[in-house]
Amino acid sequence: MTESLISKSIKRNEDPRLLTGNSTFIDDIEFPGMLHVAIKRSDYAHGVIKSIDTSEAKKIPGVVAIYTAEDLGDYWKAGPLQVPPPTAIPGAIFHARPLECIAKNKIRFSGEPIAVVVAESRYIAEDALDYIYLDVEMLDYVGDLEKAVEPGSALVHEDLGSNLAADVVQEVGNYEKAAAEADVVIKKRIVTTHVAGGAIENRGFVAQWDDNMKILNCWATTQGPIPMRNSIARYLGLMENQIRMINPSIGGGFGPKIMSSQIDDVIIPWIAMKLKKPIKWFEDRRENFLGTTSERDQVHYAEIALKNDGTILGVKDVFYHNTGAYDPYGMTIPLNTQTHVISNYKVPNYYTEIKMVFTNQMVVTPVRGAGRSHGIFVMERLLDAAAKKLGMDPVELRRKNLLPPEAFPFKTGVTGQDFVENILDSGNYPMALEKTVQALEYDKFKKEIQPKLRAEGKHKGIGIIMFTEGTAVGPYEGAKVMVGVTGKVNVVCAYSNQGQGHYTTLAQICASQLGVKVTDINVVIGDTGQFQWGVGAFASRGITLVGTAVHQASLKVREKALELGSKLLNTPKEELELEDGCIRIADLPEKSISLGELAMKANPTRGTVEEGMEPGLEAAAYYGPPHGATGFGCLGMIIDVDAETCKPKIERLVLTDDCGTPINPMIVDGQLHGGLQMGIGESFYEKLVYDEYGQMVTASYMDYLFPQASDMPAKMEIKHSVTPSPLNPLGVKGIGEAGAICVPACFMQALEDALYENDLDIVESSLNPSMLFHYVQKAKSA
């Protein structure tokens, strides 16, 4: 019996090379004669380009070429959309305005590229930027989501006649009827905050054109190597296999690196072919803040209708979603918001409307969470307000309304980001709630500890919220498993790894079928020269989709190995086992053949073969689920607030999470730790701010604050439950976003509970000490 390595906390294969500094990141790639690119970006948020004067910059010694949109001629074209419009939803209105890689005629956000400098060194290229003169007729800045769609607003895309990018209504039941029958209706305006992906490594691109072989070698920090390769092929008129796109080691993705059809992948390969020189571009931090994508700002007008006993009758949520200057990523984010508002509770009547708005801000595409946290925040804030209004305990109100375990699979009636009805595949929400409640000793805290603390003048509050994480959406991923002549195994896919631990988890899945050591499996991710098919790393889908493909490919290889082994050992398959890197007869372990030898035999070099034979111990498999798999959990925390300085300290944090079968529990914990740090960042530290003229004023880590180690809870207690997904053979679900999406809702609930005397009504997903202080002052003066 081959030993299963699933659910084992095995040390990561990739750590030795990462920890000893022996990984190649994009900026480590050097070629003789390499030229360097710097991008001139607009200082203006909105304006008509009158002229771009590059003549002085071109005179600088070492500057090789400068290109503006005009210099690109016919090569300049917008798009295509990276995510298609939501035509599956009846009545959906969507105005496509795909990304313009470099501004032509008009500037739509500060930071939009207007010229590309190619020089002998990065220093020279950056110096030259200062000598490019942009003359612009300034237009009014569009930044307020609600005012942007009022008549008379300046227009980001004049031809549309409005800044409304999309309008999508989805309804289940009849909310208005429910509200009319309700005992209590609560209405709130809730705002979620704009935050950055903030990967430690910025984006980068290297292109090298082999003019003899007619091969374009590219290295990119992309989360989607195949779509990016295909986009480049389409732009340059090359066949896909003329482009080899490789992911070097990547220092974090968090969403924004999924984008293609941007200046880097459109222009740099073109320059490399034109100049026949290797070209490198690496983004600096300010560029990353200004010109890379980000998300999370929405304004919700939300309502909840309940009976006096706390039963939810319905929810209504009409919200404005900022898509920035273009909408290349379709409606992934706001559709996720729509599905996540109601994914924990019995909500018989639900009306939800997205008003997606163009603004003069950077393009909005997913950042770890991608709309999920916004939906969770809205629902949990509504429930907290309802609990106060009804005089009910917030946990009791949730307990009363949670979907019961027998409800699954549960059809929500709402179409999700994958354009099919959002079906919650499996879950046991009450169990997650009770685990967290017990771990935090919620009742004891509320009834015994907190009253004492309050009597002593202390401000400690508790929060408990529920969440789901829609993960593992289609369309598909694939992988190929190949046993080599050394007996070691290659697992190759064209996914992308930014630190998720795939070099280990995919190896565990494969090793569990082939009976080899995890360290004897070489996982290759994101090399289009080795595997040609795939979609990309987003929506916490890697381990489910690629993992299942690896599992299925491994099963095929196992079968192939057993067939061949059976012949060579003259023994029926059923009597054989795969273990310790060889096939042996279970009862006669000394009679065996190594996998390496088997691989040699699987590739005969003389003689004849049977008809239909496929060489090698190799197989590929592809997997696409009918719909996503939904993880879930319950987060609780106790926060101690200094009432004078409004500085909070998370004293305890308990997260119960269920992501189906964990492949490597240690890596799952790592994902949750990192996610929670990001969620804590969103709640009280991180915020992208544009001023009233469309200038981003938080474009450095001096102004864009990350939580430090000292801001994190001393201990993050993570409890697991395992509710396997019925959608795939391993029962896995994604885990990438869970930690990041649940924090703000819980944080605000705990803050309100801590500062109980002030009866706060926090309606923003991100605060800081000053803002919290203002909330308190406002409440005091009310």
Partner 1 sequence: MKIEGEHLFNGPRQDVWDMIQDPVVLASAVPGMDKLDKVSETEYQGKMNIRIGPVSGAFDGKLTMQNPVPPESTTLLVEGKGAPGFVKGAGNAQFIEQGPEQTVLKYDADLSIGGTLASVGQRMIDSVAKSMMRTAFETLDAALAARLAAKAAGKATEEVEYKQASESDYAKAVAKDAMGGLTSSAEGKLVIYIIPMIVVVIVLAVLLSRCSG
By the criterion CB under 8 A, which residues form the site for partner 1?
Answer: 43-45, 110, 130, 133, 138, 286, 289-290, 645-647, 691, 693, 695-700, 702-703, 769-770, 773
Cα gap 771→704, rounded to integer Å: 16
Give the nearest distance from C-beta 684 to partner 1 in angstroms.
12
Residue closer to partner 1 by CB (options 406, 692) is: 692
Q: Dihedral (C-alpha) 371, 376, 378, 381: value to the nearest 10 degrees?
A: -150
Cα gap 77→731, rounded to integer Å: 43
Residue closer to partner 1 by CB (options 123, 133) is: 133
- Find out whether 584 and 570 touch, Cβ atoms under 8 Å: no
Give the nearest distance from C-beta 134 to partner 1 in angstroms.
9
Task: Convert 613-647 into a string of H (helix), E (strand) and C (coil).
Answer: CCCCCEEEEEECCCCCEEEEEEEEEEEEEECCCCE
**Which residues 6+ apart lie within 8 Å of 524 measured at CB?**
490, 491, 492, 493, 530, 531
Residue closer to partner 1 by CB (options 17, 774) is: 774
Query: From residue 358, how far is each of 158, 302, 486, 509, 768 by CA, in Å?
Result: 11, 22, 56, 44, 28
Q: Strand 521-525 and strand 582-585: pairing?
A: unpaired
- Find out whether 491 and 633 touch, Cβ atoms under 8 Å: no
Beta-ladder partners of 464: 636
Per the structure block, which two tokens stand in for 509? 């899945």
Residue closer to partner 1 by CB (options 361, 500) is: 361
Residue closer to partner 1 by CB (options 470, 707) is: 707
Give the nearest distance from C-beta 757 to partner 1 in angstroms.
18
Cα gap 737→675, rounded to integer Å: 6
Q: Amino acid identity of 269? A: P
Residue 258: exposure state from Cβ atoms within 10 A (0-12, 13-18, ≥19): buried
Residue closer to partner 1 by CB (options 128, 738) is: 128
Query: From residue 518, how far is each of 366, 480, 527, 568 by CA, in Å?
Result: 33, 16, 21, 26
Give the nearest distance from C-beta 293 to partner 1 in angstroms.
17
Give the nearest distance from C-beta 779 to partner 1 in angstroms.
16
- Find out whether 144 and 358 touch, Cβ atoms under 8 Å: no
Residue closer to partner 1 by CB (options 28, 56) is: 56
Give the nearest distance from C-beta 702 to partner 1 in angstroms.
7
Give the nearest distance from C-beta 199 to partner 1 in angstroms.
19
Residue closer to partner 1 by CB (options 363, 392) is: 363
Give the nearest distance from C-beta 459 to partner 1 in angstroms.
15
Q: Strand 421-424 and strand 521-525: pairing?
A: unpaired
Give the nearest distance from C-beta 298 to partner 1 in angstroms.
24
Residue closer to partner 1 by CB (options 362, 748) is: 362
Residue closer to partner 1 by CB (options 43, 240) is: 43
Residue closer to partner 1 by CB (options 143, 499) is: 143
Cα gap 229→225, rounded to integer Å: 6
3-state helix, strand, coil in the chain (%, to 5): 30, 25, 40
- Find out whether 543 and 551 touch, Cβ atoms under 8 Å: no
Give the nearest distance from C-beta 768 to partner 1 in angstroms.
8
Give the nearest distance from C-beta 770 to partner 1 in angstroms.
5
Give the nearest distance from C-beta 773 to partner 1 in angstroms.
5
Give the nearest distance from C-beta 497 to partner 1 in angstroms.
31
Residue closer to partner 1 by CB (options 126, 176) is: 126
Cα gap 684→701, rounded to integer Å: 15
Cα gap 211→250, rounded to integer Å: 28
Residue closer to partner 1 by CB (options 81, 688) is: 688
Which residue bears the tokens 């705002």? 191
Q: Amino acid identity of 450? A: Q
